[in-house]
Amino acid sequence: MQVEKLLLHETSDERRVARLANRIHEENRLKNPPAVTPLPDGDRYMVLDGANRVSAFKMLGIPHIVVQVVSYDDPDVELNAWNHVVAGMPEGQFRAALAELYSLHLEQCSIQEARQSLAIGDAIAYIICRNVVYIVRNRTGNSDSDLQLLNDLVNIYKGRADIYRASNDDFSKQAPSYPDITALVVFPSFRPADLIAFVRHGEVVPSGITRHIIPQRALRINIPLAVLAEDKPLTDKKAWLSRWWHERLTANAIRFYAESTFLFDE
């Protein structure tokens, strides 16, 4: 697929993109294909998983990429949210940066109140520090600016701290794994229609907060970079991919694992 036809619903991480571009160039292959879904208004696609890979291909000037096309109509495709473990940034510096955002209002609360506020849409996020929990609200009251405020919130620590994804909001469970943890930032869940609308309006959500669960995910395809970078028509490359697929199939080299899987070489 043409890389230019792939639209991102989330910002890319510039530091990770640069590292990934170097690794892809050194390994000379595409290991895991991005997962994409077709947009309803033409032949473009929205990237569900793999924003940094697509950005790395753009950085390297490679015109084509192999993707896995999935549909939101598939009931097994789920869209959830990741939370951010923010680590390595002094808590005082983190709080001072929060205070500099005029449109952001923090209200101290209990974890139960924070969860309820986010669930009913009364907050755009909540933040858990070691000894305090804050609901994050839009001070302006203008919900149209909620997405921009979420991006502003993440930009407070993006590039200034280490960011790890978490699937829960339990600070006590995260702290042992990240001794220099600063905060746990908890985000709302979006709907597929929300992401599509954002993309169509040229908007993006912060990187690393959307979590797509895709059944039968294709991994370790290891497509040679030379094939994708070669100055040949897309039709020729699709024909090559079809032959590659048939060869892998007849060699019994494709395996499906239904079990939950941990990967240790990402």
pLDDT of residue 31: 95
Q: Are residues 137 and 155 in the same domain?
A: yes
Please give the residue range of the domain that contains residue 231: 3-78+213-250
pTM of the predicted protein model: 0.90
Are 108 and 178 contained in the same domain?
Answer: yes
Same structural domain for residues 178 and 226?
no
- 124 and 150 assigned to the same domain: yes
In a domain, 107, yes or no: yes
88 plus 182 within the same structural domain: yes
Query: What pLDDT, on the 0 to 100 scale, is given for residue 142?
Result: 77
- For the stretch 96-109, pLDDT in tens is 999 999 899 999 99
Residues 106, 34 within the same domain: no
Q: CATH number for the domain including 47?
A: 3.90.1530.10
The domain total for the chain is 2
Residue 192 lies in a domain: no
Which pLDDT belongs to residue 262? 83
In tens, the pLDDT along 141-155 reads 777 789 999 999 999
pLDDT at 93: 95
Task: Give how far Cα 232 sits from Cα of 117, 163, 252, Å.
Answer: 53, 39, 29
Around Cβ 38, how many Cβ atoms within 10 Å?
15
Is position 266 within any domain?
no
Do 181 and 220 belong together in one domain? no
3 state SS of 21: helix
> Quick check: is 261 in a domain?
no
Segments in the chain below pLDDT 50: none
Residue 41 pLDDT: 80
**Are residue 163 and residue 98 in the same domain, yes or no?**
yes
The answer to whether position 24 is within a domain reads yes
Same domain? 101 vs 141:
yes
Tell me whether residue 258 is in a domain: no
105 and 166 housed in the same domain: yes
- The answer to the question of residue 117 being in a domain is yes
Based on the domain organization, do 25 and 51 belong to the same domain?
yes
- Verify that 91 and 178 share a domain, yes or no: yes
Give a yes or no: residue 64 inside a domain.
Answer: yes
* CA gap 50, 38 in Å, rounded: 15
Element (H, E) at 76: none
The answer to whether 137 and 105 are in contact (CB under 8 A) is: yes
